[in-house]
Amino acid sequence: MMRKLLEFWRSRPLKLTLSILLLTTSVLFTADSLDLRGDQRHGLREARKMVAEALAVQLSMLASVSDYNGIQLSISALVERNPDVLAVSLNNANDSTLAEYGDLAQLIIPSGNSTLSQMNVPIYHENQNWGHLHIAFLPVNSLNFQLRYLGFVLASCFLLYLLFLRKALVQLDPNQVVPSRINSAFNMFSEGVIILDDNLRILLINDSAAQTVGKPAEQLVGHRLEEWSWRQPEDWQPPWTTTLHSGLKLSDQTLHLQLDNGETRVLVASCVTVGNEHAGVSGILVTLNDMTAIEQKNKDLALTLRELRNYQELINTKNKELEALATQDPLTGLANRRALMSNFEEEYAKALRLPAPLSCIMLDIDHFKNINDTYGHGVGDEVICAVANTMVAECREYDTIGRYGGEEFVIVLPGLSTEEAIEVAERIRIKVSHLTKNKVVPVEKLTASFGVNTVDTSTTSVMQLIEQADEALYAAKQGGRNRVIGYGSHAKTLDLPDGQKLTEDTTEDATVRATEDITADAIKVVTEDVNLSRVIELEAIVKERSRDLEQMREYDSLTGIPRRTLFMQRIDTEVQRAERLKLNIGTMLLEIKDLNLITSTFGHTASDALVIEFVTRLQEGLRSTDMVTEILDVHSMSLVTTNEYGVLLSDLDDSAQAMPVITRLRRLLSMPFEIDNQNIYLGVNIGVSLYPQGGSNALELMESASQARAQAAMKPDKVSHSFASASLEKVSREYIILEADLYEAYEKSQFELYYQPKFDLALRRVNSMEALLRWHHPTKGLISPADFIPVAEANGLINNILDFVLDESLKQIKQWNSMGLGGLQVSINVSPVQVRDPNLVGNILAAMKKMGVPTSQIEIELTETSVFESPQRARVGLSRMRDAGLSIAMDDFGTGYTSLGQLADLPLDVVKIDHSFVIAMGTSERSRAVIESVINMAHALKLRIIAEGVETNEQLALLAALGCNEIQGYLISRPLTASDMTAFLQQAQQRRSA
């Protein structure tokens, strides 16, 4: 109440009112001093009475001596010398006229007492009425007197008010203060500029602002800015109102104004107070930037971009169609000869560069001309397509299969040796021979012949490989068809048409498989065994039964980890759970490189010890918090095959979350293993397949992970990995590049600390701020912490980053203290990984002690996840921080699983409400109720509440009404550099001291 009375006493309307009253009082006093307002009739009556009485005395004396001539002379002299006397007559008691003079017509005998213009004075002699004296005076005009008085007052007030208001209106009309030149410059601003008084009425408006609303400036002055036709929500609070009540400087507030012609303009408003704290806010400066044209251009640009994207998609589709026409065989869909040779050249160059094995198979359908002649070309095309489908089914996803010409095909097999390529060719040969039995094609008999060749030291080109494979194919046809021939030696010579020599295996029990005696000197002919197909089928059955027997044993006898059966069962369980919860899971297969070489070098005992140490280290290093799922009991790894280990990842939001696990594996495997007192560094191939991209069940996921592991084996890295799809592989490469860039960023000081202020709603000032890390990449620009912090947590660089943030924050606090900006508190974010570090608190306190900054100026911010992953350990660490004087804040409250009751068990000082609740409270009563409950509970627990992400005036007003202590968001300020934050604080300090 007292504050309002003081504001009213200091208000300009009251001052002007008092000044006008004082001027009016001065005019009235002046009129009184000039006797313009007094009773003039009374004075005139007394004066005329005295004249009449004096004349009566004089005439009575003359009448007593009967001097009538003297009486006549006295009367005439009075009339002639006194202009107020019009006529005089003297009568005796009998009303006989004794003497008279002047304008006798003016003499009117009054019926009663004398008046101001007609006086009748009795004359007594010896106490008897002798006669009477009648005098006619000039009549008194009272209206003239009043007009003179009124004219004086009006003229005096007019002159005085004119002089006063010319001075006073300088404060009311800024145009009188601003010189014409400056006023002209003011109107040259392209932005609209408006000055409001403390009642939010328009005092001054430039031409740009008037043109925005489409009215003359003279019509707008004196009206409230809210009267304009703003198209805003019903509960909208104008930004200038917020600035007037809060003193905050608001900027970039988007508004929509509807004109009289129906047009809507998009305006960006900024508001700042005019005046100082001691005299009170005297007004608001509002700038309006018309963004209508830019907004329309942005819409047009967005429409154009959408059209361009549509055109681009159409072009990409057409390009794919053209590429398919240019690279695919129209009948089979395989690569045509041109694409086949191009891919073969690439694989050949890669094999020489790594180096890595590379094999090729040339296939020719036996007696194809006879098929065409007998069954027709339609059936011939069906045969070609069936053989093509068989090759695709038996080969890997990344193998290249192409139609070389007619009924000839070439298969490029990267990473496979001659023996492995012959196995692939044999599988295809058997499947082709079964096509007729399964009635896939309508022919009686169908077989194919195969020639196999592999890159060796004598290979000089792709064409040489194909020609040698073709020679082997020719040998297969010459040897009876329906067989696989590898390029080799140790055989007797057969004549070839071009003079070259073929070698036919002289071994009595010949098979279609290449043996260890294969060299690059000649061609080895492997004859077909009559019962070969049956033998291979029986071998497959035996292997399947052996595999079933192995799966019956649940645990590996060497390492004690679960075997494949349990692993597959757990995968299926997690797939069902992931499908229900709409999550991703990942299957990882790990293979130790060159394990056979290690075994042959150090022996089986040392090799077994190495495997045990390998499994133990990985199980201890892969914690459940890294999304690694326990297969059974405490085991997080499974033995899938002899040298293949499985790891299951669950609850993945996206594919990128698998990369921290791979990074952790790299770190674990970067340390040496000890074998026979020697340190060796293991190489590991890792294949990763994610659900649902890599498969919908355990078997499909395992197969795709195995293929990915084979791809990883072709990479030169010591620890290499590969994903089962190209898109995931791209994510993996981007992650690795980001990780390398992150190390470089730390070494080259590409990090910078920004500060975002927190506004105290009670004190109306900034007392604290949050330190936010920014990475300025030299080519990619600003990279969000959400992208690189998880990488830093996985590779261990997070501790170095915290040291950087802490050092920079302490240096800046010390600088602000020296500049007289002391008392500011800076919040530092700590990741969940660092909360588990027992040395965290000691390191922070040591750095603060070294820099000489009190603990009250640092606040530690933790997320809900970091606290409740290890609540007991977190509670101990938080207590140590509190005991040392550090303030502790829980960030993003409401996004995890923390209940309000759990807050009471934690040593906290501040709770920060997540911005998602702040955004939702404007439209959701439930969110508003949640925020109110959190605020009330926090206050009951003696905790302060900070609301994050405040961007509008409505949010500020509502949070203030609910009792929120501080707010943080773009409404107050965006994150600022250290220099900009210093300027921000200095300006705030100047406003407070002004």
Backbone angles phi and psi of 608, in degrees to 5: -65, -40
User: Of the residues 742, 762, 781, which one is the last residue of a structural domain?
Assistant: 742
Given 258, 276, 297, the domain boundary residue is 297
b/e per residue 200-222 (b: at least 16 CB within 10 A): bebbbbbbbbbebbeeebeebbe
**Domain match, 937 and 794 both:** yes
Question: How high is the pLDDT of residue 898?
Answer: 54
Within-domain flag for 319 = no
Return the pLDDT at 503.
38
- Evaluated on CA atoms 792, 795, 798, 803, the torsion sign reads negative
Q: Please indicate, yes or no, whether residues 238 and 341 belong to a single structural domain of this protein.
A: no
Is the pLDDT score of 533 beyond 60?
no
pLDDT at residue 507 is higher than 60: no
Nearest by Cα to 858 from 808, 924, 931, 787:
808
Residue 587 counted as domain residue? yes
Reported as type and span, the H/E element at residue 516 is none
pLDDT band at residue 964 using 50, 70 and 90 as cut-offs = very high
Residues 628 and 673 in one domain: yes
Check whether 167 has a pLDDT greater than 80: no
Domain assignment of residue 500, yes or no: no
**971 located within any domain:** yes
pLDDT (tens digit, 9 = 90+) per residue, 92-145?
878 788 888 888 888 876 655 788 788 888 887 767 777 888 888 888 765 666
From 948, 951, 954, 966, active-site residue:
948
Q: Is the residue at 32 inside a domain?
A: no
Q: What is the pLDDT of residue 501?
A: 36
Which pLDDT score is estimated for 388? 95
Q: Are residues 788 and 897 in the same domain?
A: yes
Mean residue pLDDT of the chain comes to: 80
Mean pLDDT lowest among 6-15, 192-201, 838-847, 940-949? 6-15
- Mean per-residue pLDDT for 487-500? 41
Q: Is the pLDDT of residue 513 over 50?
A: no
Strand order in the sheet with 118-125: 97-102, 85-92, 128-137, 118-125
Range with lowest mean pLDDT among 145-159, 775-789, 840-854? 145-159
User: How far apart (Å, rounded) are the C-alpha atoms in residues 702 and 690?
Assistant: 10
The residue that leads in pLDDT, 83 or 622, is 83
The confidence band for 627, taking pLDDT boundaries of 50, 70 and 90, is: low
Q: What is the pLDDT of residue 718?
A: 86
Q: Please check whether residue 526 is in contact with residue 426, taking contact to mean a CB–CB distance below 8 angstroms.
A: no
Average pLDDT estimate for 858-870 = 76
Residue 524 has what pLDDT?
39
Distinct helix (H) and strand (E) counts, the chain: 32, 33
Number of folded domains that form the chain: 5
The answer to whether residues 705 and 728 touch, using CB atoms and an 8 Å cutoff, is: no
Residue 499: the pLDDT is 38
Of 19-23, 256-260, 875-879, 929-933, highest mean pLDDT? 256-260
Residue 382 annotated as catalytic: no
* Average pLDDT, integer, range 277-290: 78
Evaluate whether 909 touches 879 at the Cβ level (below 8 Å). no
560 and 656 inside one domain: yes
Q: Is residue 87 a part of any domain in this protein? A: yes
Boundary of a domain, candidates 140, 167, 196: 140
Residue range 697-726: mean pLDDT, rounded:
86
* Mean pLDDT computed over 164-192: 63
Reported as a single tens digit per residue, the pLDDT across 92-106 is: 878 788 888 888 888
What pLDDT does residue 946 have?
94
Q: What are the φ/ψ torsions at residue 970 (nearest 5 degrees)?
A: -65, -20
- CATH number of the domain encompassing residue 211: 3.30.450.20
User: For residues 537 and 614, which has the higher predicted lDDT (pLDDT)?
Assistant: 614
Q: Is the same domain home to 721 and 666?
A: yes
pLDDT of 967: 93
| Residue 586 and residue 682 in one domain | yes
Same domain, 768 and 705: no
**Are 602 and 737 in the same domain?**
yes
Task: Please indicate, yes or no, whether residues 791 and 769 belong to a single structural domain of this protein.
Answer: yes
On whether both 959 and 894 belong to a single domain, the answer is: yes
Q: Is pLDDT above 90 for 896?
A: no
Q: CA quadruple 70, 72, 75, 81: dihedral positive or negative? A: negative
Q: Are 430 and 394 in contact (CB under 8 A)?
A: no
Q: What pLDDT does residue 372 have?
A: 85
Give the domain range for residue 60. Answer: 40-140
Read off the pLDDT of each residue in 266-272 and give the average, rounded to a whole number.
Answer: 92
CATH number at residue 461: 3.30.70.270
What is the per-residue pLDDT for 782?
85
Residues 724 and 761 in one domain: no
- The pLDDT of 158-166, averaged and rounded, is 67
Inside any domain, residue 27: no
Q: What is the pTM of this model?
A: 0.42
For residue 973, the tally of other CB atoms under 10 A from its CB is 21
Is 3 domain-assigned?
no
